[in-house]
C-alpha cells in the first residue's frame, strides 16, 4: 500500500504563520483603486497556514519519494540523465535573465539577445550547419519543425513527396513527427551489425521519398558507419537527411552532422547541455539546418548588426513561429553557460568519457547478460535479457528490482528489434565506483534468479509504490487520490 503523506492543505492550522511581515509604514489603500474589480478575487485564496520548517520538510520529503539524478545513478537509455552542474541553474536564475519580460524592446534586452546569438554560433560550430533556431521546446517539437521545413523545401520546388524513411530502431517520436507533418513512414530494416540495411534502403528509395530520419548514433548506441553512402543515396533521389541528434553526447567535438551529409538536425539541450529534465519540465530542442533550408526557418531569428542584436522577421518563406515568444529562454542560458564553462577541450573530454563509461560498464556485464549488437558501442548499449527470461525472470522484473537498490531503472523494451531489451546509458558524469556498484547489483540480481526469483517477481519492495498493475493503470487511468 501507498504510505500517504498529508497534503500541505491538510497540515494547515488556522493562525499558523511561516513568515512575519513588518508593520505597515505606508498609507493603506484599497486594491480595487489600482486593479479593476473584475481581476480581483471575490473569495480570498485558501492558502495553507503552516510554519516555515513544515513547508521545508514537506517538500524535502516529497522530493525523495521519487527517483532523481541528485539522489542516485539514473542510467536511462536514450534520455541522457546526466548530472547538471548547479551553477548553470544559478546563472539562469539571475534577476537580469529571470526577470526579463518577453515584450521588452530589443535595446533593453541586448544581453539576452546576445546569449541567443552566441548559443546559435556555438551550435553552428558543433553541428557544422548554417543556422539554428532555438525556439522548439523539446526534441519532439524540434523534429516536427524540422519535418515541416523539409516539407516547405519540397513544396518550394513544386514537389509533392509522400514518404520519410525511418529505421526500425527509431525513437517513437520520429514516426509521430512524420505523421503529424502529413507524411507517411517507410521502414527500413536493420542488418546483422545493428546498422541500416543498405540493400533494403536501396529498395525503398524513389522519387516519392521526401527524406530519411536517422538517429546517429542509433538507438542501439552504434555509429551508422556507412552514413556517407546512406546520405548520398538519399540525396540522389532528391530526399533530405534528418538527424535525430538526441544522442549528440556521443559525437560532440569528434564528428559534425553536416559533415556526414545531414541537412537538418535537432539537438536536445536538456539532454546534452545541462538542464535537469524528466517529469515533463521545460526543455529545448533547437533545429540546425544546412544553407538550402534557411529560408524556411521559424521566425523570429536573432540578427547582429553593428555590434547590436535584434529580432529578424525577414523570412518570407518561413514556416512561421512555433513557440510563444522565443522558446524556453532559461534553458538556453543554461546551455550557453555549460558550453562556456566546458570549452572546446572540455566538450571533447565529455564525449570521450561518455563513450568510455558505456564501454566499461558493458564489459562488466557481458559475461552474464547477452548483448546482441555489441561491436562499436558508443555512449549506450542494449542488453537482451534472454538468458534471464529462460530462467523465468523478465527484464521488467530486473528493472523493478533495481529500484530496491536505489537506482532508476534503465529504459526497457526499446528498441523494439531487441527482445527483452534493456538500454543503459551511464553518461560521462559517473565515477568508476558508481559504475562498479551498479554492475555488481545487476550481477547480484542475475544470481538471485536461481535462489529467490519470487522476490524479484514482486519487486519493488522498498519504494512508496509497490509493483503496479500496469495494464490496469493504462486502461483505467485515475490520477485522484482516494482514501
Ligand atoms: C529523447 C529523444 C527524443 C525526443 O526528445 P524530447 O526532448 O524528449 O521530446 C527523440 N529521439 C531520441 C533518440 C531521444 O532519445
266 lines ligand 1 (CB under 6 A): no
171 lines ligand 1 (CB under 6 A): yes
Mean pLDDT of 184-206: 97
138 lines ligand 1 (CB under 6 A): yes
Cell reading at 289: 539546418
**Helices marked H in 73-197 — which ranges?**
86-92, 95-98, 110-127, 139-156, 173-180
What CA–CA distance (Å, rounded) separates 20 from 54?
Answer: 15
What CA–CA distance (Å, rounded) separates 460 from 390?
Answer: 21
Q: Which of these ranges, 20-24, 138-142, 200-204, 315-319, has the smallest mean pLDDT?
A: 20-24
Cell reading at 422: 534493456
By residue count, the chain amounts to: 483
* Ligand 1 atom 6: residue of nearest CA: 139
268 lines ligand 1 (CB under 6 A): yes
Q: DSSP label at 21?
A: P
Mean pLDDT of 384-398: 98
* Ligand 1 atom 1: residue of nearest CA: 79
What CA–CA distance (Å, rounded) separates 300 from 313?
Answer: 5
Measured in angstroms, how far is the CA atom of residue 80 from the centroid of ligand 1?
Answer: 10
**Structural domains in the chain plus CATH codes:** 1-65 (no CATH), 86-341 (3.40.640.10), 353-473 (3.90.1150.10)
328-364 pLDDT per residue, tens: 999 999 999 999 999 999 999 999 999 999 999 999 9
* Ligand 1 atom 4: residue of nearest CA: 139
143-167 pLDDT per residue, tens: 999 999 999 999 999 999 999 999 9
What CA–CA distance (Å, rounded) separates 425 from 378?
Answer: 10
pLDDT for residue 1: 44
Q: Is the pLDDT of residue 171 over 90?
A: yes
173 lines ligand 1 (CB under 6 A): yes
Tell me, rounded to whole angstroms, the distance of Cα 1 from its chain centroid. Answer: 32
What CA–CA distance (Å, rounded) separates 46 from 16?
Answer: 14
Mean pLDDT of 377-393: 98
425 lines ligand 1 (CB under 6 A): no
The preferred substitution site among 244, 275, 280 for testing ligand 1, maximizing ligand atoms within 8 Å of CB, is 244
Atom of ligand 1 nearest to the CA of 140: 9
Give the pLDDT band of residue 478 (cuts 50, 70, 90).
Answer: confident
Q: Is the pLDDT of residue 368 over 80?
A: yes
The preferred substitution site among 144, 171, 283 for testing ligand 1, maximizing ligand atoms within 8 Å of CB, is 171
pLDDT for residue 281: 76
Cell reading at 435: 559504475
Measured in angstroms, how far is the CA atom of residue 281 from the centroid of ligand 1?
Answer: 14
Q: What percent of the chain has pLDDT over 70?
A: 99
Q: DSSP label at 379?
A: S
What CA–CA distance (Å, rounded) separates 255 from 126?
Answer: 8
Q: Is the pLDDT of residue 483 over 70?
A: no
* Ligand 1 atom 5: residue of nearest CA: 139
pLDDT for residue 481: 64
222-251 pLDDT per residue, tens: 999 999 999 999 999 999 999 999 999 999
411 lines ligand 1 (CB under 6 A): no
pLDDT for residue 77: 94
**For the range 356-359, what are the long-range contacts, defined as Cβ-Cβ under 8 Å and sequence gap of 24 or more?**
357/426, 357/427, 357/428, 357/430, 357/435, 358/221, 358/424, 358/425, 358/426
What CA–CA distance (Å, rounded) separates 412 from 250?
Answer: 21
What CA–CA distance (Å, rounded) separates 392 from 454?
Answer: 10
Q: Label residue 392 left, alpha or beta by phi (over 0 means left) and psi (-120 to 50 means alpha).
A: left
What CA–CA distance (Å, rounded) separates 438 from 457?
Answer: 20
Please give the C-alpha separations between residue 135 and each of 162, 285, 411, 415, in angstroms, as whole numbers.
27, 7, 28, 29
Mean of per-residue pLDDT scores for the chain: 95
Mean pLDDT of 460-465: 92
Amino acid at each position: 500500500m501507498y504510505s500517504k503523506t498529508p497534503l500541505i492543505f491538510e497540515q494547515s492550522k488556522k493562525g499558523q504563520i511561516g513568515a512575519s511581515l513588518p508593520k505597515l509604514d505606508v498609507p493603506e489603500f484599497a486594491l480595487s483603486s489600482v486593479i479593476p474589480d473584475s481581476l480581483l478575487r471575490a473569495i480570498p485564496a485558501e492558502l495553507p497556514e503552516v510554519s516555515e520548517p513544515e513547508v521545508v520538510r514537506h517538500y524535502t520529503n516529497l522530493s525523495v519519494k521519487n527517483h532523481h539524478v541528485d539522489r542516485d545513478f539514473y542510467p536511462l537509455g536514450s534520455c541522457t540523465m546526466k548530472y547538471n552542474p548547479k551553477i548553470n541553474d544559478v546563472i539562469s536564475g539571475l534577476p537580469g535573465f529571470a526577470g526579463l519580460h518577453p515584450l521588452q524592446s530589443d535595446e533593453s534586452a541586448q544581453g539576452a539577445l546576445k546569449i541567443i546569438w552566441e548559443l546559435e554560433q556555438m551550435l553552428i560550430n558543433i553541428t557544422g550547419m548554417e543556422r539554428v533556431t532555438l525556439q522548439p521546446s523539446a526534441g519532439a517539437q524540434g523534429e516536427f519543425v524540422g519535418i515541416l521545413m523539409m516539407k516547405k523545401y519540397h513544396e518550394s520546388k513544386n514537389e509533392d513527396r509522400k514518404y520519410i524513411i525511418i529505421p526500425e530502431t527509431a525513437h517513437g517520436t520520429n514516426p509521430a513527427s512524420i505523421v503529424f507533418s502529413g507524411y507517411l513512414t517507410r521502414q527500413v530494416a536493420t542488418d546483422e551489425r545493428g546498422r541500416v540495411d543498405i540493400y533494403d534502403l536501396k529498395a525503398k528509395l524513389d522519387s516519392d521519398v521526401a527524406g530519411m530520419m536517422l538517429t546517429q548514433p542509433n538507438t542501439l548506441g552504434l555509429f551508422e558507419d556507412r552514413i556517407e553512402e546512406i546520405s548520398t543515396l538519399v540525396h540522389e533521389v532528391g530526399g533530405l537527411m534528418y538527424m535525430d541528434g538526441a544522442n549528440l553526447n556521443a559525437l560532440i567535438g569528434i564528428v559534425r552532422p553536416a559533415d556526414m551529409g545531414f541537412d537538418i538536425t535537432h539537438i536536445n539541450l536538456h539532454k546534452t547541455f545541462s538542464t535537469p529534465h524528466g517529469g515533463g519540465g521545460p526543455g529545448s530542442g533547437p533545429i540546425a539546418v544546412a544553407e538550402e533550408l534557411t529560408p524556411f526557418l521559424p521566425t523570429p531569428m536573432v540578427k547582429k548588426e553593428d555590434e547590436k542584436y535584434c529580432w529578424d522577421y525577414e523570412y518570407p518563406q518561413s514556416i512561421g513561429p512555433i513557440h510563444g515568444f522565443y522558446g524556453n529562454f532559461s534553458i538556453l542560458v543554461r546551455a550557453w553557460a555549460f558550453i562556456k564553462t566546458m570549452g572546446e577541450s572540455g566538450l571533447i573530454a565529455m564525449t570521450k568519457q561518455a563513450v568510455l563509461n558505456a564501454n566499461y560498464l558493458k564489459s562488466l556485464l557481458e559475461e552474464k547478460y547477452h548483448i546482441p549488437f555489441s561491436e562499436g558501442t558508443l555512449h549506450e548499449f542494449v542488453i537482451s535479457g534472454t538468458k534471464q527470461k529462460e530462467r523465468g525472470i523478465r527484464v521488467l522484473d530486473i528493472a523493478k528490482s533495481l529500484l530496491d537498490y536505489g537506482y532508476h531503472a534503465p529504459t526497457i523494451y526499446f528498441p523494439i528489434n531487441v527482445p527483452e531489451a534493456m538500454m543503459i546509458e551511464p553518461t560521462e558524469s559517473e565515477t568508476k565506483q558508481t559504475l562498479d556498484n551498479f554492475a555488481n547489483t545487476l550481477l547480484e540480481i542475475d544470481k538471485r534468479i536461481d535462489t529467490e526469483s519470487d522476490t524479484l517477481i514482486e519487486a519493488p519492495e522498498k519504494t512508496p509504490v509497490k509493483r503496479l498493475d500496469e495494464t490496469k493503470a493504462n486502461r483505467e487511468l485515475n490520477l485522484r487520490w482516494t482514501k
